[in-house]
Structure 1
Amino acid sequence: MAKLRFIVVGSGWRSLFYWRIAQALPERFELCAMLCRTEEKAEKMHREYGVPVSTSAEQCIALHPDLVVVAVNKASIAAVSTEWLARGFAVLCETPAALEEDALRALWQLHRQGAKLQVAEQYWLYPTLAKRLAAVRSGALGTPQFARLSVAHGYHAVSLARQFLNAGQQPVRVTGRSWTEKIIETDSRWGAVHNGALVEKTLQQHTLEFAGGGTAFLDFNGVQYHSYLRSTHTSVQGERGELFDDTLRCLDAAGEPVCRPLTPLPDPLAAAAAQAGLNEDETAIACFLDRMQGYLAGGAEVYPLADALQDAYLALLMERALAAPGQPVESTPQPWNTEER
């Protein structure tokens, strides 16, 4: 298989994930250029990281990439993705696809008109989460009824909740509350923090009640992404058992209760990524990029756009629920729920 050649539009922290992936797995991926807004930023990225850079969209177009990765700030993702789709390129944008409902609907309309757009929702491809999803999907728990997730925020959490509960595009009622908590900083995006400050962070809790009967309890503080003092947890319950992190309790074929640890799923690319030193987030993105090859060749979507738009839409409802603590916010039908896909 030929390597996937792509450009990255944007030069922030997230864009460097794609550069590290290309460096770690050069036989599969090639980052042709990183499109930066200014010469100063381009010079900095090239000097500090060795990234091939450009400040010219025309130069990037002339490289004839297979894919354009949009990794700009969240407020600009939808507009920049639309620009590159209009140029005729396939686009993989970072999450969320948009921050407003009208923009989400506009992206769906472009999709219906044939635009090739995917959203890099990668959490289901985390090796630790992939094996947990596989265990639930195997039917070992019976019908998943409750999911208690303290793994990620917003749209990422919604994506996982819908998958663990097999909720699809079901209508949902959302309630939420938030609290401020104090914690010592111990880690960050850039590495360990020593003698960290006492800071205030926000703990958010949401309940999502799906029309089909499943309920998700989401509990997360953003500090959990980078902290040695806060862990993450996954719990899913069905009538035949319970998944708690990497332990599965269920009934065996004879109807007797058993308890066993989960084992990693066989995934050669994930293994190669880990061996090359990529972290779990980068490994998941590498797996997503690898699947983009099939999508670009006319195959199935890697993560259906309808699901990515639903994740972003429900994340907006979660924000509204926080503004009115304890008051339910009901989803309404969206084009990607009801139209033929």
Structure 2
Amino acid sequence: MGGMTSFAIVGSGWRAEFFWRLAAALDGLACVGVVSRRPRDLGVPVYPSLGECLAAAKPDFVVTAVPWGLTPSLVVELVERGVPVLAETPPAPDLDGLRALWRTVGDSRLVQVAEQYPRMPAHAARVALVRAGAIGDPTRVDVSSTHQYHAVSLIRTLLGVGRGPAEVRAVRTTAPLADPLSRAGWADPVEVKQATTTIATIEFPDGGFGVYDFTDNQWHNQLLMRRLLVRGTTGELRDQDVVRLAGDRTIVRTPIVRRQTGYDLDLDGFDTDHITFGSDVLYRNPYQGQRWNDEEIAIATLLEDTAGWVRGSGPEPYPLADGIQDHRIALAIEEAADRGTAARVAAEPWH
């Protein structure tokens, strides 16, 4: 099937705005409505209720971008109406909610989760490199970048572990840290505040070990370096650097290089071109000319992948079971830190 794929969004906040704004630049994809309790001038049709939106706009799928607590009931309502859903993360706020949601809609095959992190250019390049076997079989992943389910998604994706039991240990520590930036912009003046760091280990019984390290406001605080490590049986990837065994008595170090246009006398405009490992191209930006940042590229990719799934021309972009598992492990991290003892993720119906 060709032609246009349409979608609607429930929610009109900061997160929802990404979806309708990016869709406007994508061929073959159209945002045909936003459900908002209060009237808004958004450049796309706004409906006061989901029912009115579905009746008038007839979207091929619906994105839910609402507060955590509202997501499960909304997903259930859409599934009952037979409408495919792309649910923002996490699909439910707590363990009871995750289990109830799975019991209700797990067999529907109509729900995907809007987990964008593995689709970010740098992460997508790392995933491609690891899956190509450049460092052998992955055995450990450390993520110090983003929080909870997003970090768990990166750990599971890079390790290649499925959904199953895990054992989690965690500690929290608090220390003073300058906080110069937030989503709202620069802090004037900058204040030194108490910032909490949560460090956890995640052990997967079938092999694979994850290290989670997140500090308050790490998303926006540019004083905190992002760190990502993947250890394999024949080498290690650390951020943009790879060391590996290329043969007997031969240890090779190779950088992962992003080609960014727009610097110095490069007049093509500021954009990501591709990411390479030696002469191998790990990733090409599918949206050159849009000047999008990595988050925008990832969300646009997710939208197009969801459209392909709805049309039947592509795989599931991020199944509900995976989104549930990511948050299940994230909840275990908080539980282990709260209690000071190991938290076990036992077998669950979505495994």
SS class of match (1:335): coil
- Show the counterpart of 1:101: 95
Q: 1:112 to 1:220 in 2, by over 3 A?
A: closer
User: 1:236 offset after TM fit, Å?
Assistant: 1.2
- Distance across 2 between alignment mates of 1:26 and 1:213: 40
Moved more, 251-260 or 328-337: 251-260
User: 1:111 offset after TM fit, Å?
Assistant: 4.2
- Show the counterpart of 2:264: none
User: Are 1:301 and 2:332 an aligned pair?
Assistant: no
- Show the counterpart of 1:205: 199
Q: Structure 1: which 5+ residue stretches go unaligned?
A: none
User: 1:54 offset after TM fit, Å?
Assistant: 1.9
User: Are 1:276 and 2:299 an aligned pair?
Assistant: no
User: Are 1:175 and 2:183 an aligned pair?
Assistant: no
TM-score with structure 2 setting the length? 0.86
Whether the 8 Å CA contact 1:242–1:249 is kept in 2: the answer is: yes
User: 1:188 offset after TM fit, Å?
Assistant: 2.1
Q: CA RMSD in A?
A: 2.0
- Show the counterpart of 2:303: 289
Whether the 8 Å CA contact 1:21–1:278 is kept in 2: the answer is: no
- Show the counterpart of 1:12: 13
Q: 1:231 to 1:28 in 2, by over 3 A?
A: farther
SS class of match (1:248): strand
- Distance across 1 between alignment mates of 2:201 and 2:103: 30
- Show the counterpart of 1:317: 332
User: 1:259 offset after TM fit, Å?
Assistant: 0.9
* Partner deviation per Cα, 1:117-157 (whole Å, 9 max, x = no partner): 00011110010111111111111212222221102111111
Equivalent runs, 1:26-105 vs 2, <5 Å: 26-38=26-38, 42-43=39-40, 46=41, 49-61=42-54, 62-105=56-99
- Distance across 2 between alignment mates of 1:12 and 1:321: 32
Whether the 8 Å CA contact 2:164–2:346 is kept in 1: the answer is: no
User: Are 1:3 and 2:9 an aligned pair?
Assistant: no
- Distance across 1 between alignment mates of 2:34 and 2:283: 29
- Show the counterpart of 2:148: 154
SS class of match (2:7): strand
SS class of match (1:92): strand
Whether the 8 Å CA contact 1:7–1:68 is kept in 2: the answer is: yes
Moved over 6 A (4+): none
- Show the counterpart of 1:232: 226
- Distance across 2 between alignment mates of 1:51 and 1:112: 31
User: 1:84 offset after TM fit, Å?
Assistant: 1.6
Q: 1:283 to 1:240 in 2, by over 3 A?
A: same
- Distance across 2 between alignment mates of 1:193 and 1:54: 36
* Partner deviation per Cα, 1:79-117 (whole Å, 9 max, x = no partner): 111112212211101000112333323333344543510
User: Are 1:329 and 2:343 an aligned pair?
Assistant: yes
* Partner deviation per Cα, 1:9-28 (whole Å, 9 max, x = no partner): 012211111122123x2424
- Distance across 2 between alignment mates of 1:259 and 1:193: 40
Moved more, 76-85 or 100-109: 100-109
Please state which structure has a larger fraction of its residues in strand.
Answer: 2
TM-score with structure 1 setting the length? 0.89
* Partner deviation per Cα, 1:250-278 (whole Å, 9 max, x = no partner): 1225661111112415656x441x63132
User: 1:194 offset after TM fit, Å?
Assistant: 4.2
Please state which structure has a larger fraction of its residues in helix.
Answer: 1
Moved more, 306-315 or 190-199: 190-199
- Distance across 1 between alignment mates of 2:26 and 2:104: 32
User: 1:33 offset after TM fit, Å?
Assistant: 1.6
Q: 1:150 to 1:112 in 2, by over 3 A?
A: closer
- Distance across 2 between alignment mates of 1:243 and 1:206: 20
Q: Structure 2: which 5+ residue stretches go unaligned?
A: 258-274, 276-280
Whether the 8 Å CA contact 1:14–1:71 is kept in 2: the answer is: yes
- Distance across 2 between alignment mates of 1:276 and 1:194: 32
Q: 1:232 to 1:76 in 2, by over 3 A?
A: same
Moved more, 309-318 or 276-285: 276-285
User: 1:60 offset after TM fit, Å?
Assistant: 0.7
Q: Which residue identity does 2:35 align to in structure 1?
A: L
SS class of match (1:301): coil
Q: 1:255 to 1:164 in 2, by over 3 A?
A: farther
Q: 1:26 to 1:286 in 2, by over 3 A?
A: closer
* Matched-pair identity in %: 36
Q: Which residue identity does 2:325 align to in structure 1?
A: Q
SS class of match (1:169): coil
- Show the counterpart of 1:218: 212
- Distance across 2 between alignment mates of 1:194 and 1:20: 30
Whether the 8 Å CA contact 2:76–2:105 is kept in 1: the answer is: no
Whether the 8 Å CA contact 1:85–1:115 is kept in 2: the answer is: no
Q: 1:113 to 1:142 in 2, by over 3 A?
A: closer
